[in-house]
Chains A and B, each alone.
Chain A
Amino acid sequence: MAGQEQKSSQSREDVEDVEPGAAPAPAAPQASEATQGVDDLLDEIDGVLESNAEEFVRGFVQKGGQ
């Protein structure tokens, strides 16, 4: 079936997307890039975190479920 073929080629494409660390790079620059990447990420997260962490965490109370 055409639909199925399409689906399987789709999932093959997806795999390439999730190929981690596909481009090999020299060790030292990669390490500093990674550090820079985490710093950028933390800066981004700083901007969206709920303002009062203590109050938020205390107020997040759930009833048990399944």
Chain B
Amino acid sequence: MSTSEHGPDGLPAGGALRVMGSETEYGIHAPSTPGANATYLSSQVIAAYARLTRERLHASPGAGWDYTDETPLRDARGWSVRRSQAHPDLLTDLEPVLTAEGVALAHGPAEIELDGDQEPALMNLVLGNGARLYVDHAHPEYSSPEVTNPRDAVVWDSAGDAVVLAAVRALASDPEHGPINLYKNNTDGKGASYGSHENYLVPRSVPFSDLVRGLIPFFVSRQLVCGAGRVGIGQDGRTPGFQVSQRADFFEAEVGLETTMRRPIINTRDEPHAVADKYRRLHVIVGDANCSHVANYLKFGTTALVLSLIEAGAAPAIEIHEPVAAMHRLSHDTDLRETVRLLDGRRLTGLELQWIYFEAAAKLAADAGVAAEHGGDGHTATVLRLWERALTALGSDLDAAAGYIEWAAKQMVLEGYRARDGLAWSDPRLGLIDIQWSDVRPERGLANRLMASGRLSRMADDVEIARAAIEPPEDTRAWFRGKSIQRFPANVASASWDSVVFSPPGSYRLQRVPTREPLRGTRALTGGLFESHPDIQGFLDALLGERHT
């Protein structure tokens, strides 16, 4: 094919290009105040970043969140949960207000005084790079701006690590607050898990049942490529050992709406944050948070390819017997010999499952004309090459895989300690290495140190990541959101994925600008508007005039 087809979002179809984004909940630890309330600590992280932003912009610290279009109880299978029957954790469309009472109800005794002397606890920020930084349950969460390809997904996800690192630094140097440290992991090893989610824009026309069928065998085996590794087996980690995935043991169902209990491999939350009859937002909750750039890249890139397979009706016809148990077993076998049973009677290893998906994705991308190194879509060839290399290395040379596969790198360090010091898997030093692996501080975080010494590959350098912590991606609506906040910090009242709400000067009326098409609001489409109108009134006149004509 000489010209490639385009999906409904306007990006070339059949490959790894797609509107996508990440959400990272960080583990939080205040070493000098053990037992401190985690929700309060999280709000301190948000407030610290707000102060830094205010210093930089000499103005308002970014906008609040606009909750108008949040619909967390809508189920992709076609129904809604009644509010009165929903677990409170699912009610993510209400502005959380941190009161001492609320903190006490949600997460144990409040050990804080929220009186008038204190700055109001800040729970929500929209950043100038288009991201959202907020308190989700009892963790600080960074939700990246929307990007169009897996490389940008890694860059703007890593930007979140830079954002929270800046807050960690500020808190450490502030005698009033004391250190609060953050960890890009998914479990405390004692039974609690917190998520790292991915979001992918999918045409509404793709039946949800096709997504379920096509994705479950892929997600059961994807952890071999992008698992972050974990010390301890079982949700509470009580069984000594090492496993491939941080998250696998916390999944108990195949399909469902919940994200905090009885977690399902396929999450059905149906909040498109976009034109609802055209798109759905696939909310993927099964992945590990990745410090390794390549593992993170393959997580987004291979999943985007599999979604293209499903859209094209070309997903491998595989059905796994008892996929939840199969996912646990594959995670527990770091020799990668474990097999899973298919409904047709075959038994395949996790790597064999991944190869089947790889072959199908490579064929579709080649047929669609997007897979060429030169003249392809600029990304799919790289995803396919790294995916193939990872599967080959995992099957033959785990030492080579340890240069970029995160669980293999962590295992190499842990096995090194076990060999040198004769440590059993239950030794707390190994548990410490597992946790400290993901410390966001470059001098403390072990993954960071492996990247600094070249033992773990990087795909983006610190300069590019620091820039992404400030600047939005240019090719999605995140550009309009981020630039609006950068340019007019005093006049953006709130923002969300699909809106920016302006407060025009001298007016009590708010002006809500919907941004329901993820690939509009780009630099190409709105950069001129920002350049021509440095003042808010002229900008809004031109923007709203344009929208009405």
User: What is the interface of chain A, defined by CB distance below 8 A to chain B?
Assistant: 3-5, 7-8, 10-12, 14-15, 17-18, 20-21, 34, 37-39, 41-42, 44-45, 48-50, 53-54, 56-66
Contacts and interface: CB of A to CB of B under 8 A. Distances in A.
Contact of A62 (B138, B294, B386, B453): B138
B432 A65 contact: no
A8 B459 contact: no
Contacts of B429: 49, 53
A62 B27 contact: yes
Interface of B: 23, 25, 27-29, 31, 34, 38-39, 89, 107, 136-139, 151, 187-195, 197, 259-260, 285, 294, 373, 378-379, 382, 385-386, 389, 393, 397, 399-401, 403-404, 412-413, 416-417, 420, 427-429, 431-433, 435-436, 443-444, 446, 449-450, 453, 455, 457-460, 474
Given A20-B400, A65-B192, 11 more contacts: A18-B386, A18-B404, A45-B446, A48-B446, A62-B27, A62-B28, A62-B139, A64-B137, A65-B137, A65-B193, A65-B260
B151 A11 contact: yes
Contacts of B389: 20
B382 A14 contact: yes
B420 A42 contact: yes
A63 B38 contact: yes
A53 B378 contact: no
20 contacts: A7-B151, A12-B382, A15-B386, A20-B400, A20-B401, A20-B403, A20-B404, A53-B431, A56-B428, A56-B435, A60-B29, A60-B188, A62-B138, A63-B192, A64-B191, A65-B138, A65-B194, A65-B260, A66-B195, A66-B285
A49 to B, nearest CB: 6
A18 B403 CA distance: 8
Contacts of A17: 457-459
B137 A59 contact: no
Nearest to B457: A18
A11 B16 CA distance: 13
B428 A60 contact: no
Nearest to B29: A60
A48 B444 contact: yes
A48 to B, nearest CB: 6
A61 to B, nearest CB: 6
Q: Which 3 A-B pairs have the closest CB atoms?
A: A65-B194, A8-B378, A63-B138
A21 B402 CA distance: 11
A66 B107 contact: no
A63 B137 contact: yes
Contact of A61 (B188, B385, B393, B413): B188
A61 B190 contact: yes
Given A54-B428, A64-B260, A66-B259, A18 B446 contact: no
Nearest to A63: B138
Contacts of B393: 20
Contacts of A44: 449, 453
Contacts of A21: 397, 400, 403
Contacts of B188: 60-62
A49 B432 contact: yes
Contacts of B428: 53-54, 56-58
Residue from A4, A5, A12 having most chain B Cβ neighbours under 10 A: A12
Contact of A42 (B191, B379, B416): B416
Contacts of A49: 429, 432-433, 436
